[in-house]
Amino acid sequence: MRTLWADQVTRRTLLKLGVSSAVLMALPWGLRREAWADTANPHFVVTLVGDGGWDVTQVFDVHDPLDATDGVDVDVPQAISGLPPSQIAMVGGITYMSNPTTRPAVDAFFTNWASRSAVVNGVNTRSTSHDQSRQLVLTGYLDPTRADFAVMAANQNGADMPLPHLLLSGPSFAGPFAGLSGRVGDQLGDALAYNRVPDRVDPNIEHLAVSALGEAYVQQALEWQRTLDAPGALSARLDQFSDANQRGEKLVRLAASLPQNSNNGAQLATSLGSAFRSGMTTSVTLSNVGGFDTHSDNTQQNARWEELFSFLDQFLTGLAAQPGLRAASLLDETTVVYCSEFGRTPQLNGDNGKDHHPWTSMLLVGKRVRPGTVGMTDGQQEGVKVNFSTGQPDDTGQIIDVQNTVAGILTLVGANSSTYLAGVKPFTAMIA
């Protein structure tokens, strides 16, 4: 009878079979930590999605509040809101809308990070439906078989990692790369300690379901059964199952580096930094600020911007303070992308709110980002034709579509965008 098993379990046998960390941790062979990150040229991506459709005229997409010919209402009139009006500010090559009274965190952010940030204005989302636009902004398509740029970046830069794309929260579209993307619930650490079972009397005590050696035997047995099942009805997905388990094995070894979702930017930076350095993942998505869908009382946007930029400031500070795998800091090896599903109408409606508008902006910070503002909207807050290399208005250029920004982000992270979005011209003006 065929058997895969050696009569004596040796280190070589265990390694050949790719046994779990449980085994390795129990054995004095010093194989405690392994990294699968591309240490030659690490490029991490953090995608943040602001939920609801942000009013970009309040920060990114500058329109002079004093210009009567410009059809954009930046603020709810002071006579109604009691709040001082916004004003145009410039820091480090970024021109933005400032209001030190209602959203001081914006000023602080750009003071600290303008030199590493790019703002892309005038992006056409083609839709004003929340669900549809989220998919369009992240993938460029309405096609459910398409992946979003965070997942594609993961495939590009970390396909062999345990969890190349880590979804902490928010929307994500894995498309053909579903095996590379996984959610991490708050208690996934429980699952990663899969061999521990609570005591029957005192649940604070945990026993092992099997010994470390027993775990090796279990894995051998399952592999043997897999070969027997290979011709059977489930054969088409056994490889996926095996791959998932192998990645899970790697994830277990890195359990200490499992990130925790947090609304505190500094904590998240530390947590993600650990995950990046350990080789667990290369791309993370989260949606930590919402409430931008202000159909009434647009002053509610202020608190959202405060929250967003306070968080982002802390987060970037946290990344910058950590050493990179090769570069001076982790921020030097990370690109942060902040987006929302669409913008808001240029003028206030009857409830002093703003409705959905199919033009939005994006903020990019970090690795390979060329600082400055690119792209532009007109007096109706609709995108104008721009040169895709410079990002400056150009009648011979073209409108920036979400497909172009997705392709551009892929280019930024080192991919050949045409591999993923055939025939789409990448918008590259924000790339250093």
Site residue total, other proteins (CB under 8 A): 96
Q: State which residue, 184 or 331, has the beta carbon closest to other proteins.
A: 184
Residue 67 CB, nearest approach to other proteins (Å): 16
Q: State which residue, 138 or 174, has the beta carbon closest to other proteins.
A: 174
Q: Considering only residues 345 through 404, tell me which ones interact with other proteins, judged by CB under 8 A.
A: 345-347, 349-351, 355-359, 380, 382
User: How are beta strands 334-340 and 359-366 bridged, if at all?
Assistant: antiparallel
Tell me which of 267, 295, 378, 394 binds other proteins, using CB under 8 A: 295
Strand ranges inside 191-345, DSSP E: 196-198, 206-208, 283-289, 334-340, 343-344
Q: State which residue, 107 or 223, has the beta carbon closest to other proteins.
A: 223
Residue 22 CB, nearest approach to other proteins (Å): 10
- CB-CB neighbours of 101 under 10 Å: 11
Residue 33 in the binding site for other proteins (CB under 8 A): no
Give the residue from 332, 334, 352 showing the smallest Cα distance to 344: 352
Strand ranges inside 253-319, DSSP E: 283-289
Dist. CA 432–CA 289, nearest whole Å? 28
Residue 420 in the binding site for other proteins (CB under 8 A): no
Q: Considering only residues 120 through 149, tell me which ones interact with other proteins, judged by CB under 8 A.
A: 124, 126-129, 131-132, 141-143, 145
Q: Considering only residues 55 through 114, tell me which ones interact with other proteins, judged by CB under 8 A.
A: 71
Tell me which of 205, 256, 303, 432 binds other proteins, using CB under 8 A: 205
Largest CA distance in the chain: 88
- CB-CB neighbours of 9 under 10 Å: 16
Tell me which of 34, 64, 67, 206 binds other proteins, using CB under 8 A: 206
Dist. CA 13–CA 19, nearest whole Å? 9
Residue 9 CB, nearest approach to other proteins (Å): 9
Residues in contact with other proteins, shown as a per-residue x/- string from 334 to 353 under the rule CB under 8 A: -----------xxx-xxx--
Residue 251 in the binding site for other proteins (CB under 8 A): yes
Name the strand (E) or helix (H) holding 364: strand 359-366
> With CB under 8 A as the contact rule, which of the stretches 30-38, 77-85, 109-117, 223-231 interacts with other proteins?
223-231
Dist. CA 325–CA 258, nearest whole Å? 18
DSSP string, 166-220: EE-SS----GGGGGGEEE--TTHHHHHSTTEEE-SS-TTSEEESS-HHHHHHHHH
